[in-house]
Chain A
């Protein structure tokens, strides 16, 4: 019996078989390539953290340099209390298993947490990386927020006074090229250096991205991107919303409150 390939039954059967085959192939590929992909993302995260304390690294050396400069990885709860503290090399889920994976602040997916609106405040975890470079201590805060088209994120490094910005890196997924996408460029990131997140009275004020340009002596503002207003505002909000969680910790562990 010849198959009538134009019949409805055959068309239906064809689509079902096609979908099953395609789904199998794609899931196998996704599973098979997961290891190297995770490794790449881990190294990229390390590179970004190192970048915020102005340590340049290639992807290959990111792991070693991360171990060298980052001394402690703290997990904070929403009240700013330290719930876990991990040192030593970062373990990978695929080779070292689940043990010690959850408690490591490095593995906290702040983006996922940010998107999950149903999560209660108590469940949220906030990572803080303590770094040592040339004898000085730096604190790196991972940031996450919303741009115009999608998520934006970054890392902000504070000096040992937990007030002055030592470095900032930002990145994005889908911001407008040439406009909002410029937030990951040096010219946007470098003016953050030297700015302060607390004012003279020790009140948390964050750093504003100012439309029309911030005054050079403004310690709490940087220039926004022309034509990238919503992304710029996104960076402002991201800084304020993320940093305010860390304020109790900063106040407790530095002399900001005493100013």
Chain B
């Protein structure tokens, strides 16, 4: 009797149509965090680093890529071992996984892009404390298969990254007159009394820039506006 039931269950499992790699659901994992559930502008996570390393576009790009690498790695590993993680120590396991990945990223940056690694200084190490990563591990990777978890990681890292880079473009352009280190605002403009805005380089302007992005986003995407 029991073998019959087992066999039937197995049959059901086999018959269950395998989901296409980019099904509608999976695509939403990639696109949602870019707008509707953006980690920074909607969930207001990872704000610390968004304020700290958006003075230059290059730093923002490297930071986004580092977070992307850590998130994909973390989500994948946690998702692969999700069924054997003892639930009592799951937060510790997540921390260990994220911390090791961050150390790896830090070492690689130190070996191959030393100057950027110096500019990012402590913030690489602080990726560990980025709420987005632990949040996604706990909320998604622990309950989902590896492939959706990777997509979720890419989506969230991209959602984090584009805000970071957008803020950095505004701050670097108006704060230093450059983009990626190249001079954008010509010298002659300064002759007419134009000046770099030092306020842009300070953290408060990052907060204000993020605020403006949130404002624009909500005026376009009215679903995000709270009821009262």
Contact = CB atoms under 8 A, between A and B. Distances in A.
Interface in B58-98: 83-89, 92-93, 96-97
Nearest to A43: B114
A59 B84 contact: no
Nearest to A23: B100
Contacts, number: 54
Interface stretch (B17-25, B105-113, B175-183, B187-195): B105-113
Given A14-B89, A15-B89, A36-B112, A26 B103 contact: yes
A36 B88 contact: no
Interface in A19-47: 19, 22, 25-26, 29-30, 33, 35-37, 40, 44
Contacts of A36: 111-112
B86 A14 contact: yes
Contacts of A14: 84-86, 89, 93
Contact of A11 (B86, B107, B122): B86
Contacts of A30: 107
A11 B103 CA distance: 25
Chain A interface size range: 20 to 34
A3 B122 CA distance: 41
B110 A11 contact: no
B152 to A, nearest CB: 23
Contacts of B126: none
A18 interface: yes
Interface residues of B, number: 22
B111 A11 contact: no
A22 B107 contact: no
Given A14-B84, A26-B103, A26-B104, A40 B89 contact: no
Nearest to B100: A22
Contacts of A6: 86-88
B89 A37 contact: no
Contacts of B86: 5-6, 10-11, 14
Nearest to B118: A44
A174 interface: yes
A70 to B, nearest CB: 21
Interface in B118-175: 122
A33 B108 contact: yes
A91 to B, nearest CB: 20
B158 to A, nearest CB: 26
A169 to B, nearest CB: 14
A40 B114 contact: yes
B114 A59 contact: yes
A30 to B, nearest CB: 6
Contact of B107 (A3, A18, A37): A37
A11 B114 contact: no
A40 B96 contact: no
A10 B96 CA distance: 18
Interface string A147-178: 00000000000000000000000000010000
A136 to B, nearest CB: 30
A58 to B, nearest CB: 10
B109 to A, nearest CB: 10
B87 A18 contact: no
A44 to B, nearest CB: 7
A3 to B, nearest CB: 8
B122 A33 contact: no
B80 to A, nearest CB: 13
A37 B111 contact: yes
B88 A40 contact: no
B102 to A, nearest CB: 11
A220 to B, nearest CB: 32
8 contacts: A5-B84, A5-B86, A5-B87, A11-B89, A14-B86, A33-B107, A33-B110, A33-B111
Per CB-CB distance, the 9 closest pairs between chain A and chain B, nearest first, are A36-B111, A40-B114, A11-B86, A33-B111, A22-B100, A37-B111, A33-B107, A37-B110, A5-B86
